[in-house]
Structure 1
Amino acid sequence: MKLQEMREEIINGPIERTLLKLAGPLIVNNLVQVVYNITDTFWLGKLGREALSAPGVTWPIIGTLMALGMGFATAGFAFVGQYIGAGEFKKAGRSAGALYSLMLFFSVTTAIVSVLILPYALRFMKVTPTLYPYAKTYATIVFLGVPFAFTYMAFSALMRASGDTKTPMKITLLTVFLNIVLDPFFIFGWGPFPRLGVAGAALATVIANATGAIIGFYLMFSGKVALKLSLSNLRPDFEFYGKLFRVGLPSSVGQSANSFGFVVLTRIIMGFGDVTYAAYVITTRLVNFLTSISRGISMAMGTMIAQNVGAGKFERAKRIAERTMLVNFTIASLAVLIIGIFRVPIFKVFLDDPKVIAESKIVLEYFLISVPFFNGIFIVVNRTFSSAGHTKKSMLLGIIRLWGLRIPLSYAFGYVGAITLLGLTIPLAKLFDFTSRGVFFGMGLSNFIGALIALVWFLRGSWMKAIIEKEAKGESKMTKGYQAEG
């Protein structure tokens, strides 16, 4: 059986070789998504500033919505991966089916509610009157396609839990290619297609997501992938739904809080003008590229963590996480070094503006040098916690880094004249002269401190406990530490 072969390699095979084997398709998958985002921006830019801004201004709303689904997909991934690691394939199938049915019901409900509250959300964000109709049109169409996005999200998570990272990559390549091809036809009305503008970009996205969801559904129910489902697996299982909510809700809340947190961070950076924000945006694109690689490796590690924790191989799971930290830290450090050496020509590819290029030196010195600690330690530890099913830990870790460190530190070093700690007054204004250096210093400092907190928490080992029920002596009993998230 292919699923058993995958399991054997994941829980007993060479760590580095298995990690890279699983990570390859995931890295490709993430990089393809980055390419699509750049292409989508390119086509919409031909329509003007409002059309270009529509996806960006609605992203905090869409991102918050998608975070809700990702939270439950993360929980399903942890349960199914641990059941497979424990060799309980029937329970893995039953859990996978329950996740599918829950995501379908939840996505339909969420899509309806989101469409109803969309106008109020856009007004709350103070979207300008000229941009409002574009943003509303784009988000409405994307929301109507949420059931497809959520069910494909579930499919991808389940495939990763089983150790199959190639199938989601192939489907993503197809759907992204379809999206890229449809974009100009729908946006500009090429050939027999009507000119839909921003609505065309959203419609292309929905069609691509629907294609991926349908293919994924067919593969799982036809038995053409390692994890096979039947219609009986889809029947409601309220006991398991309760477990999914218990494990998935913290992840959903944490990711939603992070999505909103970046809205606040954007406002802080925008306070220093267009030049600073442009340098930040370009840097973010570079960081997203780096994160695509490290995120792919971390996602592969997540599969290995989940199955090894399910198999009770906690020390092996710890070694897997530690070696992933080393790999990601090395890759990120080399990438930052290359960006530092070739900073000017790299930034000129995006925008040949002397002021922005000069500002990029500040971004590099005060923020970008901290990225290896974020990619190499923080992301790995966060993924380790969520893959082991300890989503409260990953939620708290994310909130601490963004809301407890990055936002207050960026604001303090960028805008506050002085702070007093233990009776000692620190003149921040003299250190940074109220320039962007303070904001980016605060952002970089948050990565260093966040990585340190994550590493200490990881080394404590409180995450090294399974969340599944195992069969022992004919009776179902909880594995030791099942209540650890309480």
Structure 2
Amino acid sequence: MKGEKIQRMRDQILNGPIEKTLLILAGPLIVNNLVQVVYNITDTFWLGKLGREALSAPGTVWPIIGTLMALGMGFTTAGFAFVGQYIGAEEYDKANRSAGALYSLMTFFSVATAVTALLILPYALHFMRVSENVYPYSLTYATIVFLGLPFSFAFMAFGALMRAAGDTKTPVKITLLTVLINIALDPLFIFGWLGFPELGVAGVALATVIANVVGAAIGLYLLFTDRVGISLSLESLRPDFEFYGKLFRVGLPSSIGQSANSFGFVILTRIIFGFGDVTYAAYTITTRLVNFLTGISRGISMAMGTMIAQNVGAENYGRAKKIAERTMVINFTIASLAVLVIGAFRVEIFRFFLNDPAVIRESAVVLKYFLISVPFFNGIFIVVNRTFSSAGHTKKSMALGIFRLWGLRIPLSYAFGYIGAITVLGITIPLAELFDFTSKGVFFGMGMSNFIAAIVALAWFLRGTWMMRIIEDQSKN
């Protein structure tokens, strides 16, 4: 590990002005997030030329992909927390060893995940009630993406380790390259331009896999040649079962939480598809737009995570709390402005992607009943959740995530969308009269889940039980 470079950034994170440091760390991450969303929007744009069914395919299968990838992401989160806290505590050799152990574990885990994914895919799509029109597109897209999972995991681990070290620029440079490759290959593979085979939806998936292979290869090269803050060697990649145990203790709750949440979106997709392809297409485009306009706030949250991890490692708990609080204010403001922009230009934006009058009409329902809750989700819930996970308190982040999705979003969406009436404390609430068994009820339930979850998250954050570093005693996590 390059001590001077890491030490300089560590001093900035532990002692520098909070807002300035957030900006330094967040700038590249914001670019990274916006570039990633531009890529997703590009996919949506080109697939829209093939029709509503093709456009819906990636959004349909991403809950399945996310469920399986979340298992690995949990261990990446644990590795991020350990490396960040070791750097904060100035134990650089342990940080390097932790990075190597994370990579070796992720290699084994990603292969097993890919095999499992391919086996369960057809059953998962049928369970989600994916329509007959969308099913073949979704099956093709997901199969190809699953074959490239090991490279996705490797690239994901590289980005997390760089963020833990305070280097947010290097992963962005690589991401920019991979996204450019993706954008360039999309139309060539989809439509068969310049002599390439015409692959349709399969072309989008293939372009994604190729880009991830490039990103993973570059990341490993940089780590093995000691060109970034963290360095790997064949020795550091040796299986370390003692450290694997630590990763499992901290990472397993995060893996369970993220997988449970991703699987929850499988259920949610089933609920939304109950109202037809039009509703799901409107939801897919809307989520792409929200991700683009809130890319800034998400980048700031990721930068905050680096600052939280290192400050908790250095036992600067008061500063860590202040960092999180200021991030909430910033992100709530940004997300609110984003929703206003979508509301003001909704029709024009949707027509750009898919000139379908039915989908454009449905987008008004999504905006009215769901999007207004996004500032509470992005500004409060995500910040608190990342604070818990960055501090290594993954049981808290797991519980919070499961509560939002399984305790609130799924039951509320189903109740308001499909149930005629409910009785609470002897009072009957006629849900059918409020929403007429339409998609309005589903999106209203989704919005309510964001409001309630944000309030609960804020109350838990203020208790301060997350202010304890895990590199001292993992058993207290």
The two structures share one fold, judged by TM-score above 0.5 = yes
| 3-state SS of 1:163 partner | coil
Aligned to 2:212, which of 209, 229, 243?
Answer: 209
Identity rate, percent = 79
Aligned to 2:261, which of 254, 258, 262?
Answer: 258
Q: Which residue of 2 aligns with 1:110?
A: 113
The 3 A distance-change label for structure 1 pair 363 and 137 is closer
Q: Which residue of 2 aligns with 1:381?
A: 384
Distance 1:136 1:355 in 2: 26
Aligned to 1:403, which of 403, 406, 413?
Answer: 406
Distance 1:338 1:193 in 2: 38
Aligned to 1:392, which of 375, 385, 395?
Answer: 395
The 3 A distance-change label for structure 1 pair 260 and 17 is same
1:282-307 CA distance string (max 9 Å, x none): 33222222332221110000000000
Aligned to 1:281, which of 255, 260, 284?
Answer: 284
- Are 2:34 and 1:31 equivalent residues in the alignment? yes
1:312-362 CA distance string (max 9 Å, x none): 001100000000000001111222233334444444444555555554444
2:308–2:323 contact (8 Å) kept in structure 1: yes
Report the Cα offset of residue 255 of structure 1. Answer: 1.6
When normalised by structure 1's length, the TM-score is: 0.90
2:122–2:139 contact (8 Å) kept in structure 1: yes
Report the Cα offset of residue 31 of structure 1. Answer: 1.2
Q: Which residue of 1 aligns with 2:460?
A: 457
Aligned to 1:302, which of 305, 316, 322?
Answer: 305
Aligned to 2:72, which of 61, 69, 75?
Answer: 69
Distance 1:409 1:234 in 2: 46
When normalised by structure 2's length, the TM-score is: 0.92
The 3 A distance-change label for structure 1 pair 14 and 239 is same
1:45-68 CA distance string (max 9 Å, x none): 455566544434432322222111
Spell out the pairing of 1:51-450 with structure 2 (5 A cutoff): 51-125=54-128, 134-191=137-194, 193-351=196-354, 356-450=359-453
The 3 A distance-change label for structure 1 pair 276 and 173 is same
Q: Which residue of 2 aligns with 1:475?
A: none
Report the Cα offset of residue 130 of structure 1. Answer: 6.7
1:369-403 CA distance string (max 9 Å, x none): 21111111001001101111111111111111111
Distance 2:340 2:137 in 1: 40
| 3-state SS of 1:434 partner | coil
The 3 A distance-change label for structure 1 pair 51 and 441 is closer
Aligned to 2:16, which of 7, 13, 18?
Answer: 13
Report the Cα offset of residue 193 of structure 1. Answer: 3.7
The 3 A distance-change label for structure 1 pair 60 and 165 is same
Distance 1:450 1:216 in 2: 36
The 3 A distance-change label for structure 1 pair 385 and 361 is same
Aligned to 2:475, which of 465, 474, 483?
Answer: 483
Report the Cα offset of residue 120 of structure 1. Answer: 4.2
1:157-212 CA distance string (max 9 Å, x none): 00000000010000000011112212333334444544444443332222211111
Report the Cα offset of residue 232 of structure 1. Answer: 1.3
Distance 2:149 2:119 in 1: 14
The 3 A distance-change label for structure 1 pair 455 and 215 is same
Which of 46-55 and 36-45 deviates more?
A: 46-55
| 3-state SS of 2:235 partner | helix
Q: How many residues are treated as equivalent by the alignment?
A: 474
Which of 63-72 and 48-57 deviates more?
A: 48-57
Which of 157-166 and 282-291 deviates more?
A: 282-291
Aligned letter for 2:38?
A: V
1:210-238 CA distance string (max 9 Å, x none): 11111111111111111122221111110
Distance 1:361 1:211 in 2: 40
2:38–2:292 contact (8 Å) kept in structure 1: no
Q: Give structure 1 stretches of 5+ with no counterpart.
A: 470-477
Distance 1:57 1:365 in 2: 23
Which of 55-64 and 309-318 deviates more?
A: 55-64
Aligned to 2:5, which of 2, 5, 16?
Answer: 2
| 3-state SS of 2:423 partner | strand
| 3-state SS of 1:102 partner | helix
Q: Give structure 2 stretches of 5+ with no counterpart.
A: none
| 3-state SS of 1:420 partner | strand
Which of 285-294 and 209-218 deviates more?
A: 285-294
Report the Cα offset of residue 123 of structure 1. Answer: 4.7
2:52–2:281 contact (8 Å) kept in structure 1: no
| 3-state SS of 2:236 partner | helix
The 3 A distance-change label for structure 1 pair 170 and 336 is same
Aligned letter for 1:71?
A: G
Aligned letter for 1:321?
A: A
| 3-state SS of 1:229 partner | coil
Aligned letter for 1:423?
A: G
Distance 1:319 1:69 in 2: 30
2:104–2:238 contact (8 Å) kept in structure 1: yes
Distance 1:129 1:361 in 2: 26
2:44–2:353 contact (8 Å) kept in structure 1: no
Distance 1:109 1:242 in 2: 19
Distance 1:433 1:194 in 2: 47
The 3 A distance-change label for structure 1 pair 132 and 100 is same
Aligned letter for 2:255?
A: S
The 3 A distance-change label for structure 1 pair 79 and 332 is same
Distance 1:373 1:397 in 2: 14
Distance 1:407 1:146 in 2: 28
Aligned letter for 1:398?
A: G
